[in-house]
Amino acid sequence: MGGGVGISVNGRFRVATERTVFAMPETGIGLVPDVGGGYFLPRMTGQLGMFLGLTGHRLKGWDCLHAGVATHAVRGDMVDKLEEALASLGEGDNLVSEKEVMQVLDQFLSEEAKEHTFTLARHMEEINRIFSGETVEEIVGSLRSEESEFADKALKTMEAASPTSLKVAYRQIREGGRMTTLGDVLRMEYRLVTRCCQDKDFYEGVRAALIDRDNKPVWVPGSVEEVAMDKVDWYFSSLGEEELSLE
């Protein structure tokens, strides 16, 4: 979840088990889906990444494979044997190729995972239609006009999140989809997280969720309609000499 996802999800091979849980819930504490979230979320199927980034929806177990978060899936009781098989590839002086790693992972691929039906499959039309909106306000308006339990749940989650974080995360995901490298996205996200630390909502979100645990954050401003574009632009503005260097 969160930063832990970013550390692993941009790797070449990503293995899930039936106990894996994926989520990017940062907007709920006044942050944004960082650590590469702006790179992998817009590259998911349709508008799935935007949906996950704005709502913090959790994907569990084999859903992680079918959503593209994981490249492979193995039963939890087979993880030790998988590790042994992978470790054996490195015996001797020969370099291990991606093809060899892929072959081992494919051998351990769970039949249960392959046959699993993605739980969001029946909602993908709704997700693609709603979360393709041109603004967060448009997305929220579409959710309010829908007459479905799924839309109601997504709406409640977004209404509980930081309005500023929602608008920043929306632009982050859209811009990240146009960037060509992970490095470019990480530089952008460094700016965003720095600005979160200079603003108020992140501290309020942590207070409400982790310190006082009252789950009643008071966001400033309190609605997406009140979040000025100038403020969003400030989040994306250059940090000057403090810009992230990956050289």
Closest of 47, 232, 63, 215 to residue 143, by C-alpha: 47
Of 54, 66, 177, the C-alpha closest to 122 is: 66
Q: Bigger pLDDT: 207 or 35?
A: 207
Residues 160-201: pLDDT tens digits?
Answer: 999 999 999 999 999 999 999 999 999 999 999 999 999 999
> Rounded distance, CA 122 to CA 144, Å?
19
DSSP string spanning 111-123? HHHHHPPPTTGGG
Which pLDDT score is estimated for 5?
82
- Round the average pLDDT of the chain to a whole number and report it: 95
Contacts of 81 (CB under 8 A, 6+ apart): 108
Tokens of 16: 């899930």
**C-beta of residue 82 within 8 angstroms of C-beta of residue 104:** yes
Query: What integer pLDDT is reported at residue 233 of this predicted model?
Result: 98
Q: What is the structure's pLDDT at 4?
A: 77
Residue 156 CB: number of other CB atoms within 10 A?
12
Radius of gyration of the chain (CA): 20
Q: Is the pLDDT of residue 93 over 90?
A: no
Nearest-5° Cα angle at 116, 110 to 119: 140
pLDDT bin (cut points 50, 70, 90) of residue 213 is: very high
